[in-house]
A and B are shown apart, each in its own frame.
Chain A
Amino acid sequence: MISKSNKTDLSRRLFLQTSGLAAGGLIIGFYLPSVGQKALAQEGAPAAKPIEAPNAFVQISPDNQITIVINKLEMGQGVNTSMAQLIAEELGCDWKQIRSVSAPVNPVYNHTVFAGMQMTGGSSALSSSWLQHRRIGAALREMLKSAAAAKWQVPVQELKVENSFVIHPKKGKLSFGELAEAANRLPLPQDPPLKKEKDFKIIGQSVHRVDAAGKVNGEAVFGLDVQIPNMQYAMILRPPSPGMKIKSLDPKTAKSSPGVTDVIRFGDKVAVLAKNTHAARVGRDALKVEWDEKGKTAFSDESLMQDFRKQAAGKGPAAANRGNVDQLLKESTNNLKAEYEFPFLAHAPMEPMNCTIHFDGKTAEIWSGHQMPTSDRGAAAAILGLAPEKVTVNTVYAGGSFGRRANKISDYTSEACELAKVAKRPLKVVWSREDDMQGGFYRPMTFHSVNIGLDKSKKFLCWDHQIVGQSVIGGSMFEQFMVKDGLESTITEGVSDTAYDFANFRCHQVRAQTPITTLWWRSVGHTHTAYVMETMLDELAEATNQDPLKLRRSLLQKSPRHIEVLDLLAKQTGWAKKKVPQGRAWGLAIHESFGTVVGQIAEVSLSGGTPKVHKVWCAVHCGQVVNPEGAKTQVEGAIAYGLSAALHGEIKIENGIITTSNFHNYPVMRLPEMPEVSVSFVKTTQPPTGLGEPGLPPIAPAVANAIYRLTHQRLRKLPFSRELKA
């Protein structure tokens, strides 16, 4: 943390610092020609190695180029653009002169809510930075104005800021670049005025992504594209099943394979180093390894699900319990009972995992896509026996992530460090698609059972819900503060905290164990909880002979944002008149996650056993929208990702080994399957809430509800292909 006591001579320091402006302190840096790129570390943080990019959120160069340092991983969600919009708005920038760079690891870049670490996740980038970033921009703007006022000897009230210039009606204009050095010597205003919403010029605009051009001409550098001098390519042979150990290794054939430079065993893994990736892969294929079968357990995805079903018979702790469910279940004469199965899912981002590392024995430098660079650096330092400040983490573009690169044990980073510690030469560890799909972390398998009690006249009485799911955070540093009384929110979120106003409602949770490693996967628990809630709601509407939208509306009277979303959706689609083309049906779902409410209506037809989703209307309440087109792309993407899983996604396990390996047996949505998606946002002045994930949960139940209208079949096992037969 930064304290007021270490204020220093600002003219000699690159950074301004203060406490009190934002949670956790704030540093604003200008680019100063006199100090060049030399960064001064903040008090308390070791100054051994200057941070490569200046430790600040904003840099202004003399030619008025403005660089925004982004403390989140750009993995497709658009943070390099939207976060820059927040600062640029308040600063008063010419958007055309903005560029974005990724932040190094430094406490100043820590998450404003999840204390103590730099982190990208939980759809929190804009919501958690909304005030912080605007205040940074506003403070800088006031300092630049003050510098201009001093130079011109005019009252600061006579100045305005426009397009990266401070302007005076008589004196003319001075560029930010001309004023930066003088402004840097001024005290940081503690409470700079923020712009009124009606005065926004950049927030609320669909500015083009700052990374778009580089991503279509091949210049953008992803983890796999990083090149460092004398780098060798490594591919690693990993145990085929969790816990298996090497019995014997014969590296001779691999070593003599063309292009191979070395074979290195570390623990129960073997790395083949080569002059290019292909040579490393061929060398790896030539390794002769005998695995000790003793460590292997012969489980399958089916046996694990059977075990989950058994565990569902016992009741775990209650994540929610109100009213008197037991009594009402006794009184109920009609029941809607259902059981649901959800498979393990791989994230399968387009860029497989990788990590480039240079470890010279005294310092290390790492390049990859990092959602949690602080903990990745900590893990690297511990493995390499270095102090954390001796490890430089370079966060580069990630070719998708969907949660995979927020690894709770820093898996791909740690593994590269373990290898580099032995190999002692510059390396790039490349995962093949098979490595990525079989050696990784998965959306947990989950089992739900639901019992809805109705009375004689089929009036709703109570809702009883049991979820058996594997922990997402078990065994990680998050467990100690994210699991309370044996309850883990990632298992029941979306059910236990449902917005539906049920007076008699209960949700039990069983936290199950399997040998498979799990991780958050775009929208986490909501991936399955929304499906169960929204398909059961549809069933309840049918059983009680009510319109599915009206039933939801009546149960959501205490949730005004949900009502606004439903009303917008009804208006968007003309729900009341429901003009559905022949042979097609509509399905509705609404769900809140990450603070955002999303409602969707899917128009679906069936050909043989294959559903075709023609159109999805989507209404979203996510607070103020910073970049409307960018926001729409997130919702479109979440729909595609969720639909991919619902239609096709399933990780198969046989005899303890994951057999799903590549896109032929883990099919994902392709262009011809993409529905037309139409997104509308509720107009509001509320601050932004999450958007990377919330578009996902409603799509699968919306489509399933439409399929029911076509087939009278309730789909309880995902993906749909398990039950929808031609």
Chain B
Amino acid sequence: MELNVNGKVVKVDVSDDTPLLWVLRDELKYTGTKFGCGMALCGACTIHVDGEAVRSCSYPVSAAVGKKVLTIEGLTATDKITQAVQKAWVNHHVPQCGYCQTGQVMSAVALLQKLKKPTDSEIDSAMSGNICRCGTYQRIRTAIHQAAKDLA
């Protein structure tokens, strides 16, 4: 199977129904995308496929063929919105254990790509699929507003 991950074309030898998450993590070693639940309940595995935020733990690899897959590693290097979000995350002391935060950043970036100045309720609905057990939610909200401001 041929995939386009972070702008590179790569070949993988896995069964069609393998969730994209495990192809990224175990086969391609993009470990910035995390495993949390395996049921698209927690958002730790959030990536972008053709610009949409998806839960890679429940996204079969075969469905990604012919599409552009972006992980946190790919976006960090090149994407201005991602960099603004990451800067706001650091400045507002968002990450604690940090395990969910790459997924949180991916969801926040997808939100800011669509809405330049999201309201609190728009943040609520865009981010409600991402669980954080350390309870960083209040700071995530502040950091998204900050990133939106910095990007304006």
Given the interface pairs A218-B76, A350-B100, A350-B132, the reply to whether A433 lies near B37 with Cβ below 8 Å is yes
Residues of A within 8 A of B41 (CB): 662-664
B123 is an interface residue with CB less than 8 A from chain A: yes
Contact of B39 among A76, A398, A662, A672 (CB under 8 A): A662
Cβ-defined contact, A258 with B15, below 8 A: yes
Bitwise interface map of A from 212 to 251 toward B, beta carbon under 8 Å scored 1, else 0 = 1111111111101101000001000000000000000000
- A260→B73 CA distance, assembly (Å): 29
Q: A402 CB to closest chain B CB, in angstroms? A: 7
B61 to chain A, nearest CB (A): 9
Q: A640 on the interface (CB 8 Å rule)? A: yes
Q: CB of B71 within 8 A of chain A?
A: yes
Q: Is B91's CB under 8 angstroms from A208's CB? A: yes
A671 CB contact (under 8 Å) in B32, B102, B130: B130
Residue of A nearest to B91 (CB): A208
- With a cutoff of 8 Å between Cβ atoms, the chain A residues found around residue B130 in the complex are 670-671
Which residues 14-37 of B sit at the A interface, judged by CB distance below 8 A?
A: 14-15, 18-19, 22-23, 25-27, 29-37
State the CA gap A66–B136 with chains docked (Å). Answer: 29
B102 touches A672 (CB 8 A): no
How far, in whole Å, are A206 and B33 apart by their CA atoms in the complex? 29
Q: How far is the CA of A640 from the CA of B132 in the complex (A)?
A: 9
Complexed CA–CA distance, A430 and B15 (Å): 20
Known: A225-B31, A633-B93. A397 touches B98 (CB 8 A): yes
Known: A209-B95, A638-B135. A224 touches B141 (CB 8 A): no
Closest chain B residue to A218 by CB distance? B32
Q: Are A211 and B98 in contact, with the CB atoms below 8 A?
A: yes
A636 at the A/B interface (Cβ < 8 Å)? yes
Contact of B97 among A214, A275, A350, A668 (CB under 8 A): A350
**Bound form: Cα–Cα A224–B41 in Å:** 19
Contact B26 A276 (CB under 8 A): yes
Report whether B32 and A217 are in contact in the complex, using a CB–CB cutoff of 8 Å.
yes
Instruction: From A208, A282, A433, A664, give the contact of B90 (CB < 8 A).
Output: A208
Q: How far is the CA of A638 from the CA of B99 in the complex (A)?
A: 17
- Of listed A206, A217, A221, A637, residue having the most chain B CB within 10 A: A217
**Do B37 and A216 touch (CB < 8 A)?**
no
Residues of A within 8 A of B10 (CB): none
Task: Judge whether B135 and A669 touch: CB under 8 Å.
Answer: yes
Chain A residues whose C-beta falls within 8 Å of the C-beta of B132 in the assembled complex: 350, 640, 671
Which of A206, A217, A402, A672 contacts B128, CB < 8 Å? A672
Inter-chain contact A76/B97, CB cutoff 8 Å: yes
Instruction: Please determine whether B135 and A639 come into contact, CB atoms closer than 8 angstroms.
Output: yes
Interface status of B133 (Cβ within 8 A of chain A):
yes
Q: Known contacts A349-B97, A663-B42: does B133 contact A633 (CB below 8 Å)?
A: no
For residue A399, CB closer than 8 A to chain B, the reply is yes
A407 to B: closest C-beta gap in Å: 17
Interface status of B113 (Cβ within 8 A of chain A): no
Tell me, in angstroms, the Cα distance from A350 to B95 when the chains sit together: 13
Q: B146 an interface residue at 8 Å Cβ cutoff?
A: no
Pair A629/B86 contact, Cβ less than 8 Å:
no
For the complex, what is the distance from the CA of A662 to the CA of B57, rounded to whole Å? 14
Q: Are A215 and B98 in contact (CB under 8 A)?
A: yes
Q: Interface 1/0s, chain A 667-680, versus B by CB < 8 A?
A: 01111101111000
CB pair B131–A663 under 8 Å, yes or no, is yes
A144 at the interface (CB under 8 A from B): no
- Is the beta-carbon distance between B32 and A219 smaller than 8 angstroms? yes
Asked if A527 is at the interface (CB within 8 A of a chain B CB), the reply is: no
Complex interface: chain A residues within 8 A of B91 (CB): 208
How distant is the Cα of A212 from the Cα of B127 in the complex, in angstroms? Answer: 20
A279, B15: Cβ atoms closer than 8 Å? yes
Q: Does B1 contact A (CB under 8 A)?
A: no
Whether a CB of chain A sits under 8 angstroms from the CB of B44 is yes
Question: Scoring B residues 69 to 98 as 1 if CB is less than 8 Å from chain A, else 0, what string do you get?
Answer: 001110010000000011001110111111
Q: Does A432 lie at the interface of the complex (its beta carbon under 8 Å from any beta carbon of B)?
A: yes
B35 vs chain A, min Cβ distance (A): 6
Q: Is A351 an interface residue (CB 8 A)?
A: yes
Are A276 and B133 interface neighbours, CB within 8 A? no
Determine the chain B residues whose CB is within 8 A of the CB of A668 once the complex forms: 131, 133
Asked if A671 and B93 make an inter-chain contact with CB atoms under 8 angstroms apart, the answer reads no
Taking the complex as formed, is B137 at the interface, i.e. its CB lies under 8 A from any CB of chain A?
A: yes
User: Does the CB pair A352–B35 fall under 8 Å?
Assistant: yes
CA distance A634 to B95 in the complex (A): 11
Structural contact, A663 and B32, CB atoms closer than 8 A: no
| Extra inter-chain contacts (9) besides given A217-B73, A671-B124, CB under 8 Å | A77-B96, A211-B95, A227-B29, A279-B18, A351-B97, A644-B135, A664-B39, A674-B141, A677-B138
The 9 closest A-B pairs by CB, nearest first: A218-B32, A640-B135, A399-B99, A215-B98, A76-B97, A76-B96, A674-B137, A276-B26, A637-B135
Where the two chains meet, the residues of A that have a C-beta atom closer than 8 Å to any C-beta of B are 75-78, 206, 208-209, 211-222, 224-225, 227, 233, 258-259, 275-279, 282, 348-352, 397-402, 430, 432-433, 629-630, 632-634, 636-641, 644, 662-664, 668-672, 674-677
What are 23 A-B pairs at a CB distance below 8 A? A76-B96, A76-B98, A76-B134, A209-B93, A212-B95, A216-B101, A218-B71, A222-B34, A276-B14, A278-B22, A350-B99, A352-B36, A399-B98, A400-B134, A401-B97, A633-B96, A636-B135, A640-B134, A644-B135, A662-B37, A670-B130, A671-B137, A672-B124
